[in-house]
Amino acid sequence: MMGNERQHIPRVAVPEIGVALEMRQFVVAFFDILGQRESLAAMGPVPSKKEDARAFEEQAARTLGAVFEFRRLFNEYMAAYIQTPPPEWVAGLASTDQQRVLECSDAEIGFQGFSDTLIVYLPVMNRHGRCQWRGIHALLAASAMLTPTLLSVGIPIRGGMEMGVGCEFVKGELYGPVLQAAYLLESKIAKYPRIVVGEKLAQFLDSSTLDPDPAKREGMSGEMYDRHMCWVGTDADGKRVVDYLGPSAQAMTGGHMDEVLRGAYAFARAELQRLRSVGDGKLIPRYERLVQYFESRT
């Protein structure tokens, strides 16, 4: 240190003293890229010899590339669904009802990432005091597109999605029971590469698609106006999941994802064969369930 120059000391963000933290209902998705622990371990130390550098760089590129691609695709899918215009019949509503729809379409979404984990969270009620259906639907739809797309290039992900209590106790960081619930769904319940939907969120989505008259719903936007566009299905073990091979996903994509789905299925089968060849007793049943999911929806 030279002269009176002071060294910068990084600080962890903390809430301001005396500021009231608002507990709210959130929808939270907790995603994890599988297999990264092994990839990171394979990197080893930074090489001291030039001839070892290429292998190190290639391994680093693989694991960092998976994280980069995951986040890039998620951003693209979320943006695509958020920007989807409301259906034509909205224009026929009274001006006050049109305003209600637009207010419900105002999405407020937060992202919290660390390492190979991504947390996406959004308050159920937005700044207008409306249920933000556009954001909730975008999260479901993006998850449904993202999972098989990443599988098709050999990047399996696992996730948990739930609704519950939490607070953004500093900007960009969510804390509360809902975050723990989403984490437990991912780490303990999902088991194989899939996204499990918690009971509270599933009940909320079910109760919100019961009115057959879309004009009377509380401002649902985009494809969520149509009852059949619910992305949640039931897996073989009875768990509610983001059903990217279900009828809603197929109706939404109109066959444009067929090549991706074939690639995802091919990866699942190849990975199962590889695991059997090395006798991995832990992962074999998990990939058997993934293959069974594909075959049960074919």
Q: Given the structure tokens 């308050």, which residue do they identify?
A: 123
pLDDT mean over 22-29: 92
Tell me what percent of the residues of the chain surpass a pLDDT of 90.
42
Hey, what's the torsion of the CAs at 98, 103, 105, 111, to 10 degrees?
A: 170
Which of 286, 196, 201, 203 has the alpha carbon at shortest distance from 242?
196
- Does the pLDDT at position 220 exceed 60? no
Helices assigned H by DSSP within the chain: 36-43, 50-82, 95-104, 133-152, 177-184, 199-207, 247-253, 258-278, 284-297
Its CATH class, for the domain covering 24-45+53-256, is alpha beta
Domain ranges, ordered by start, for the chain: 24-45+53-256
pLDDT mean over 141-159: 93
- Does the pLDDT at position 131 exceed 60? yes
- Check residue 54 and give its pLDDT: 82
pTM, two decimal places: 0.84
pLDDT tens-digit map of 31-74 = 999 987 777 777 778 878 887 788 888 778 888 888 888 899 88
- Check residue 218 and give its pLDDT: 47
CA atoms of 200 and 203, how far apart (whole Å): 5
The answer to whether 69 touches 150, Cβ cutoff 8 Å, is yes
Cα torsion 267, 64, 81, 124: sign: positive
Average pLDDT value over all residues in the chain: 84
Higher-pLDDT residue of 84 and 28 is 28
